[in-house]
A and B are shown apart, each in its own frame.
Chain A
Amino acid sequence: MPAEWKSNIPAVQARLALGIDRGLIAAAEVVRQTVSSELRLGYTTGEWVTPHVALTVTYGSPENQGTVRVIRVGTNVMYALYWEVGFHMRLWVWRTPDGRWHSRPGPTKFMRREIWVPALNATRFLQAAEFTKQVKRALEAA
């Protein structure tokens, strides 16, 4: 009986695509957890922290961007952007010894607390490891 050759490339490509998507989700989860943990420490002294932004950190589904597959991690809370890139204050705010807060217009002061980009950079090896794990699992299941 003559030997027959059958290509398995389509199946491998399908498993690879699945692995890439799962890998992106795994990497996004690493970033989400790191950013969320950092946000719980607050932007300034840590005295007045609500989990408002920390609880809204999320990620989307893998999507195409040209020939590249990407996933977005973010929040829908707008002021997180201003803390990340920095902003100018319009008011001077201070607290007197009796515990009361006061404010008055004053010279603009620049404030910034970066969380997202440092988290993305600090976890890059862990993201790559989690991504690779998912791709390997998908290919080994084929």
Chain B
Amino acid sequence: MTQTTDSTAAIYAMIRDRILNFTPKSGSKLKDTLSELYVVQAPDNAKFPYGVMRFINTNRDGAYQGYRQTMEVEVQLFAQPRSEASALEVMADVADEAMLGWRQATSGLAFSFEGSRMSIPPAPPPLNSEVVQIRLTYPVVVWPAFLTQYANS
């Protein structure tokens, strides 16, 4: 797919594509193991295992005159029942591999440089303790084309 930073939606599509279609050295692509990787919110009837990705803490620092955007890409993976926990950890590994040292310079500039991961402990009643949940976050820096186009004006 065409990688652009022409809009926030395009940046979402670019990172989503990276995560879903990355070929790990061993194992399967996430597009073959996840039912879907939703953006921002999954429907109530989402089929397990699925993922939800979202940009959080998007900031534009005055030190770069607002052209440089930093944010965290949050990816949450869900599976059910709890016996699927190991398989979900493998999927989380693939997401980590996809975002490891990712960079894109064909439209604006975007790159990731680190990440963190938390396997959420089983939830107590009345929450559903059979749902396995892993939260991944990747700080990303973007010089998006929709902002940098104004740099010389």
Bound pair: A and B?
yes
Enumerate chain A interface residues (CB-CB to B < 8 A): 78-79, 81-82, 85-91, 93, 103, 107-110, 117, 121, 124
Q: Which residues of A contact B128 (CB under 8 A)?
A: 87-90, 108
Which one, B42, B56, B120, B126, contacts A110 given CB within 8 A?
B42
Enumerate chain B interface residues (CB-CB to A < 8 A): 41-42, 44-45, 56-57, 59, 76, 78, 80, 118, 120, 123-129, 131, 133, 135
Cα separation A110 to B42 with both chains bound (whole Å): 8
In the complex, are the beta carbons of B44 and A110 less than 8 A apart? yes
Q: Which residues of B contact A86 (CB under 8 A)?
A: 76, 133
In the complex, are the beta carbons of A117 and B76 less than 8 A apart? no
Closest CB-CB distance, B131 to chain A, in whole Å? 5
Q: Which residues of A contact B76 (CB under 8 A)?
A: 85-86
Cα separation A79 to B120 with both chains bound (whole Å): 11
Cα separation A19 to B127 with both chains bound (whole Å): 44
In the complex, are the beta carbons of B78 and A121 less than 8 A apart? no
Q: Which residues of A contact B118 (CB under 8 A)?
A: 85
Q: Tell me which of A81, A88, A91, A103 has the highest count of chain B C-beta atoms within 10 A of its own C-beta.
A: A88
